[in-house]
A = this chain, B = another copy of it.
Amino acid sequence: MAESIDVRSRSAGDMREACGVFGCVSSGQSPGDLDVAHVITLGLTALQHRGQESVGMVTSNGKSPSQFFVHKAMGLVSHVVHEEHLAALRKGNLGIGHTRYATSGHSDLLNCQPFVVETIVGCIAVAHNGELVNAAKLRQKVLRHGVGLSTSSDSELITQLLALTPPEEEADGPNWVARIRNLMVKSLAAYSLLILHQDTIYAVRDPFGNRPLCIGKLHATASLHGQGVVDVKTEGWVVSSESCSFQSIGARFERELFPGEIVQITSTGYISLDVVPRPNDAPPAFCIFEYVYFARPDTIFEGQMVYTVRKRCGRQLALEWPVEADVVSTVPESATPAALGYAHQAGLPYVEVLCKNRYVGRTFIQPDKRHRQLSVAKKFGVLRDNFAGKRIVLVDDSIVRGTTISPIIRLLREAGAQEVHIRVASPPSPFPLLHGH
């Protein structure tokens, strides 16, 4: 049922999961104060580019013990979240959600997040983006403790690790911070987590800050005597993988979490509970692919708009790898900012040479008899007039999809391009990819 995914996503498939997490807490105490279920739905829609396989949402009524309301389904938010599901979820006044990236194999509801478990200190729901670098070792640890694991996913492993009682710190009652710290110390990367418990969302970023996570504020507004819009009331708090999701719900960006930070979000606001350090003053390691592929261009990471970073890479590319050419173009569409940056820096005109068919879907039929060129021609139409007889600089965003680029070159050549020069925009990774994303 999933939609025809663009090339960017597909190439990212060669890496591990992207996924998006989103949470919302109403500042009011009664369910009607803020339509939390609707806000989460909008938030996940804005994070849909991070995962189109499945969607899951859990809300809590915030009581002790709390009641959880769950909806999970395979597919896009706009296809599988309906009014009837929201009606049930609206009984909660805080909640978390997740969109999952399509990875091969385990494409079923069993693996759909958030994972909900009852533990000896209450029910929690957990949504995460990323993965545990030392999952195999932790898995053995959990199994040795006598726990049975029913999936191969990190999500289940994380919930079971959170369920294992920390030895000392719970003498005086449940201590989720201790449990979370415990997990973070056991696995230093590479994940962002949302944990829902009663009236609280715990937002967690791994000590290396590998995956993004940021906080926003929902505020009712009013227009005062023609003097524009002003804040009149804080309606609630949101937490999201990407700031791009704040626009569509009318939330204001507050700040990103620090690497290793544990933030507690309740109806009264958010506070930083702890920051788990990296060993030996190791530098943070934000995932470079977030800039190159995963993130939506209007998202802000480390104070910079992703689009601007991509454009700057294009400029730098023009400086480092100039070439005699007539036009600059892009492999649509994640490479477009870089191509525009390259064109600007090189003083060459930017043109479009390829148009994309968004409806291609999975190539279920193998093109046996007709030449292999066709599978690329199915995906891209050639805008001949824009480049016939010209020398093209074609900017792509990474070398991951090397298998695709050579038939594209052939396509352009056969359509009359005089020369095709490939330029790849992703900067050399500043840190080795220790963290397996």
Contacts and interface: CB of A to CB of B under 8 A. Distances in A.
Interface of A: 1, 3-4, 6, 35, 38, 41-42, 45-46, 48-49, 52, 76-79, 82-83, 86, 109-110, 115-120, 124, 140, 143-150, 159-160, 162-165, 221, 244, 247-250, 296-298, 305, 307-308, 336-337, 340, 344, 349-352, 355, 357-362, 364-365, 368-371, 373-374, 377-378, 381-386
Contact of A46 (B116, B307, B349, B378): B378
Contact of A83 (B140, B163, B364, B384): B364
Q: Could you say which of A4, A109, A160, A165 has the most chain B C-beta atoms within 10 Å of its C-beta?
A: A4
Contacts of A336: 352
Given A4-B78, A45-B360, A45-B361, 8 more contacts: A35-B368, A147-B147, A148-B159, A244-B381, A247-B377, A247-B382, A296-B357, A297-B383
Given A340-B352, A359-B76, A148 B1 contact: no
A368 B42 CA distance: 13
Given A307-B352, A357-B48, A359-B45, A374 B248 contact: yes
A1 B1 CA distance: 7
A429 B298 CA distance: 36
Contacts of A140: 120
A4 B248 contact: no
Contacts of A296: 355, 357, 381
Given A359-B45, A365-B38, A76 B374 contact: no
